[in-house]
Structure 1
Amino acid sequence: MTVTHSTPCQDSPAPLAGAESADLSAIADLKERIETLTAAITAEAEQRLERWAAWDIRGDFQPSAENLAAYLAFRHHDLRDLQRRLMALGLSSLGRLESRVLPTLHAVQAALAAMLGTPPPSGAAAGAFFAGEERLRSRALALLGLAAEERQAALLVTCPSEAADDPAFMDSLAQRGVEALRINCAHDGADQWLRMIAHARTAQQHSGHRFRIFMDLAGPKNRTGTVRATHDTRRVFAGDRIAMTAPGQLQRAVPPETAFVFECLLPEVIDQARPGQRLLIDDGKIEARIDSAGHGLLVATVSRTKEKGGKLKPEKGINLPDTELHLPALTAKDREDIAFIAEHADGLSFSFVQTPDDVVMLQDALAALPLRRETPLALVLKIETALAVQNLPDIIMRAGARNPVAIMIARGDLAIEIGFARLAEMQEEILWIAEAAQVPVIWATQVLEQLVKEGLPHRGELTDAAMAARAECVMLNKGPHLLEAIDALDPLLERMEGHIHKKTPQLRRLASW
């Protein structure tokens, strides 16, 4: 069957030849439902856009704001039954419209109208269907340094401290076509960062390959300080009680059955926690339930750890996933580092951003600098908490209103905050929201970690790395076998890109059969 698409100035095609009236009635019902859905989405999107308009969104980001508003309105509806009815007619199931919400709905309306022999609706202009996809690709090319003819996903590599004194490291990355470097401001200092950047620029001159340089703000990372055992024991077990206190308060009175007392380097979180909430230590290796909290002392009972017990050590992460923490988005150290980043880097990675107001705080701090850049600093928003996921659309709009923007799915802290079981679901939703906003995504944390550290990958992490091809960038952390991991990841991504783009299968010829 050939479907003829008409324009409003052409004669309408005839209805489907031989179609039963019941079939035409069902198609007409579908058409009406799509029209009603489109009207509802448009109205709801306009309400959201009115709120975002107060943020003075720059002109080239406005189409992305409009598409994201439409996508959020679209996802307020349960359309599974509608999808199946459209699929049965050979039409779009609407499951792949993230970057083109209204153009997809208009295309479906036009196809249904053609089946009924009625004029198509006046919808998006010709060529608009792939405009959002092209906008996303253009931003990825500009922000991450990809060349149009190269791989679809850029590589972002974390610089180890040794890179400050090893020029050959940057040469090796340039030879492998690594697009971007990550310098973590939680480690080393300005002298080491300058040497890393100088080595990168020298390698760039030698190879003709330019690096994009991104620098991470350390952010308000909560960690353990000094640990004191109250009894003759080295490990903590399920059922043990532990106490968390401010630095310098290890000797204060605690319940007599407490096994360990340890310092919390962000003591203000203690009085914000509540009984019954969870306390996670060392990437969740020790999980406890809070018994009491206040006056600078938190007492909790361990609910889960290793069978042979867990070790409480200094400098391990502390997470309170059930607690709505009110912490400044920028620490004093962050504010010092911002000036260096604005002068020397292409982008700033914003750790633990949670609300649109956090973004404004950072943008205002950048605007207050005496340095005036030729182009705005790119912002990479690290999504690490449940609150950040909840506020993601507004966070993106606040950032994109003034700056080029990308999203980093920081899967380490995010998994601890929302639970490992929900991570896979949430990373999909983040990918969808970012694509609807037409901003690049960086897939981060523990990518090929076993290979990077030990030189031999787990089978499961190869599958995880393959799924990273749906993002615009993949981040590798430092380790002794980093170059081997790059050599393994590059061809893996290239092969996967021949099979899938975002959620859309690429129907290349299968060579295996």
Structure 2
Amino acid sequence: MRHTKIVATLGPASSDPATLERLLLAGVDVVRLNFSHGTADEHRARASLVRALAQQTQRPVGILGDLQGPKIRIGRFTTNAVTLSKGQRFRLDCDLAPGDATRVGLDYPELIDDVEVGDILLLDDGKIRLQIVEKCADALITQVLVGGTLSNHKGINKLGGGLSAPALTAKDRADIALAAEIGVDYLAVSFVKHAEEMHEARHLARAAGSRARLIAKIERVEAIANLDAILEASDGVMVARGDLAVEVGDAAVPALQKRILRRAREMNRLSITATQMMESMVHSPVPTRAEVSDVANAVLDGTDAVMLSAETAAGQYPVEAVEAMARVCAEADASNDAHLDQELLGRRFHRVDEAIAVSAVWSGYHLGVKAIVALTQSGATALWMSRIASILPIYALTPDPVTFGHLTLFRQVTPVRFDLNPASDPAMLLTQIRTLLVSNGWAAPGETIAVTFGEPMGQPGGSNTLKIVTL
């Protein structure tokens, strides 16, 4: 059974009903709406189609809205692209008229105040390198260190970070309202530097009527220094390795990825590993061996989900990319050894429901139960269970449709809509659970399961009961 979830970005290659249905059946757990591209109407239509197909295929599928953030970009060229040669001078200025091989405009004039002579600017994800040799009031004069083809609207980063642009732009504020209207389950905030930016995003989302869980994208140098505070202010993090690699250097990213994923689990937060995981499958029907290892290592590091971007949004083989990622995740999940005794030794609890959740995993692991069933209103019990590395499938039964959407991203957890009658007694409840598991083929008569629930029933935060039951 695959425990690690798959996030797939929707785009021109994956938005028609037939392809999207194949993607869901291939194993997509969460779809990503990238607000950097597409119109509001396109995002509304895609979200509506996802929900219809999820119901048709009986697949639990969540929706993640990804804010664009302050992506600093150059303007456009008269010829759409130019070739820069090593050693030549190139000017970045505030004039947004079409550029040429000697100059181009900036869509973020504040960049001039953020840099100094000698700083290195990285364009197009680091493919082009420019060193600043002179600052003017309205322009930067640079020398090309690494040349190549530069096309319209490519992004700019500063080596080592330090750009002042806030995480939330006017467009992001409008997109938060759109995300609330669509009813996304998760909202990803780009280029986060401080916890305060996540607090602001949460305030705006709640004011717009959204109950989405918030994901902080870690792609700035400053975010690494403030990681714990950002995690505390968020429901999860995305290791956005593209811009992060540009700012800290590609060699630093693997160790940072492990550190971020480990810290997220320690703080009971969700995690997504993203960027170029199977990039070659944009044009190839099979991944490279390096990509297979990359995905498998993220699984072994404990990520909740791995994400596909261009592979499914614009690639030639979107379904094959999902199928390949699902195979790799399942194999890595099966080989991931659990060491529960060492992990839980000395652990302290501050809530009864947390103690019940951890006890269910520990007892189930040592008793060899077939599955864990968690009745949950808020999803908290299932979240704590999924933070512990084990091979046990977790079925989270909830009557709340919003919680159901949140559960789609939890590692090891299968969300199940379950209408809980507060008047039910435990014996009736266990009969319903037995029928559900057996009818779906999740367990068989004679097998043992662990069940957690709260008494009295139907109250959030009330899990206070663990039962070990033989079906």
- Range of TM-score over shorter length: 0.5 to 0.7
1:244 aligns with 2:79: no
Mark the CA change 1:250 to 1:450 in structure 2 (over 3 Å): closer, same or farther. Answer: closer
Whether the 8 Å CA contact 2:161–2:220 is kept in 1: the answer is: no
- Which of 217, 227, 235 pairs up with 2:67? 217
Give the number of aligned pairs: 336
- Which of 202, 217, 225 pairs up with 1:363? 202
Whether the 8 Å CA contact 2:96–2:107 is kept in 1: the answer is: no
Mark the CA change 1:498 to 1:335 in structure 2 (over 3 Å): closer, same or farther. Answer: same
Whether the 8 Å CA contact 1:228–1:260 is kept in 2: the answer is: no
Match of 1:320 in 2: 158
1:159 aligns with 2:7: no
Tell me by how many angstroms 1:500 deviates. Answer: 2.2
SS at 1:361's partner residue? Answer: helix
Deviations 1:143-173 (A, max 9, x none): xxxxxxx422100000013544x11122112
- Which of 110, 113, 126 pairs up with 1:271? 113
SS at 1:335's partner residue? Answer: helix
Mark the CA change 1:435 to 1:294 in structure 2 (over 3 Å): closer, same or farther. Answer: farther
1:499 aligns with 2:338: no
Match of 1:175 in 2: 25
- Which of 40, 56, 65 pairs up with 1:206? 56
State the alpha-carbon separation in 1 of the partners of residues 326 and 227 from structure 2: 30
Give 1:265-304 correspondences, 5 Å limit. Answer: 265-304=107-146
- Which of 257, 264, 267 pairs up with 1:434? 264
> Which stretches in structure 1 are left out of the alignment for 5+ residues?
1-149, 252-257, 400-404, 509-513
Q: Which letter maps to 1:243?
A: R
Tell me by how many angstroms 1:472 deviates. Answer: 0.9
State the alpha-carbon separation in 1 of the partners of residues 23 and 84 from structure 2: 42
Tell me by how many angstroms 1:357 deviates. Answer: 1.6
Give 1:71-150 correspondences, 5 Å limit. Answer: 150=1
Mark the CA change 1:162 to 1:497 in structure 2 (over 3 Å): closer, same or farther. Answer: closer
Of 357-366 and 343-352, more deviation after overlay is shown by 357-366
Whether the 8 Å CA contact 1:277–1:323 is kept in 2: the answer is: no
SS at 1:349's partner residue? Answer: strand
Tell me by how many angstroms 1:351 deviates. Answer: 0.7
SS at 2:44's partner residue? Answer: helix
State the alpha-carbon separation in 2 of the partners of residues 410 and 454 from structure 1: 23
Q: Which letter maps to 2:54?
A: Q
Mark the CA change 1:234 to 1:223 in structure 2 (over 3 Å): closer, same or farther. Answer: closer
Q: Which letter maps to 1:358?
A: E
Mark the CA change 1:250 to 1:195 in structure 2 (over 3 Å): closer, same or farther. Answer: closer
Deviations 1:184-232 (A, max 9, x none): 0111111111111111111112111121000111111111212369xxx
SS at 2:118's partner residue? Answer: coil
Whether the 8 Å CA contact 1:351–1:381 is kept in 2: the answer is: yes
State the alpha-carbon separation in 1 of the partners of residues 319 and 339 from structure 2: 29
Identical positions, percent: 32
SS at 1:290's partner residue? Answer: strand
Match of 1:489 in 2: 325
Deviations 1:440-474 (A, max 9, x none): 21010001110233223222112112112131101
Match of 1:84 in 2: none
- Which of 276, 286, 306 pairs up with 1:474? 306
Higher strand share: 2
SS at 2:102's partner residue? Answer: strand
Whether the 8 Å CA contact 2:27–2:322 is kept in 1: the answer is: no
State the alpha-carbon separation in 2 of the partners of residues 247 and 211 from structure 1: 45
Whether the 8 Å CA contact 2:96–2:106 is kept in 1: the answer is: no
Tell me by how many angstroms 1:235 deviates. Answer: 2.1
Mark the CA change 1:453 to 1:389 in structure 2 (over 3 Å): closer, same or farther. Answer: farther
Whether the 8 Å CA contact 1:379–1:406 is kept in 2: the answer is: yes
Q: Which letter maps to 1:488?
A: A
Tell me by how many angstroms 1:502 deviates. Answer: 8.8
Whether the 8 Å CA contact 1:240–1:259 is kept in 2: the answer is: no
Tell me by how many angstroms 1:323 deviates. Answer: 4.7
Whether the 8 Å CA contact 1:228–1:262 is kept in 2: the answer is: no
Mark the CA change 1:503 to 1:420 in structure 2 (over 3 Å): closer, same or farther. Answer: farther
SS at 2:322's partner residue? Answer: helix
| TM-score relative to the length of structure 2 | 0.67
Tell me by how many angstroms 1:314 deviates. Answer: 0.8
Deviations 1:74-114 (A, max 9, x none): xxxxxxxxxxxxxxxxxxxxxxxxxxxxxxxxxxxxxxxxx
Whether the 8 Å CA contact 2:239–2:272 is kept in 1: the answer is: yes
Tell me by how many angstroms 1:482 deviates. Answer: 1.5
- Which of 462, 478, 498 pairs up with 2:292? 462
Larger Rg: 1
Whether the 8 Å CA contact 1:161–1:188 is kept in 2: the answer is: no
Tell me by how many angstroms 1:503 deviates. Answer: 9.7
> Which stretches in structure 2 are left out of the alignment for 5+ residues?
343-388, 392-471
Q: Which letter maps to 1:483?
A: V
State the alpha-carbon separation in 2 of the partners of residues 475 and 452 from structure 1: 14
Match of 1:122 in 2: none
Q: Which letter maps to 2:93?
A: T
State the alpha-carbon separation in 2 of the partners of residues 476 and 433 from structure 1: 23
Whether the 8 Å CA contact 2:93–2:139 is kept in 1: the answer is: yes
Mark the CA change 1:437 to 1:332 in structure 2 (over 3 Å): closer, same or farther. Answer: same
1:260 aligns with 2:102: yes
State the alpha-carbon separation in 1 of the partners of residues 82 and 98 from structure 2: 17
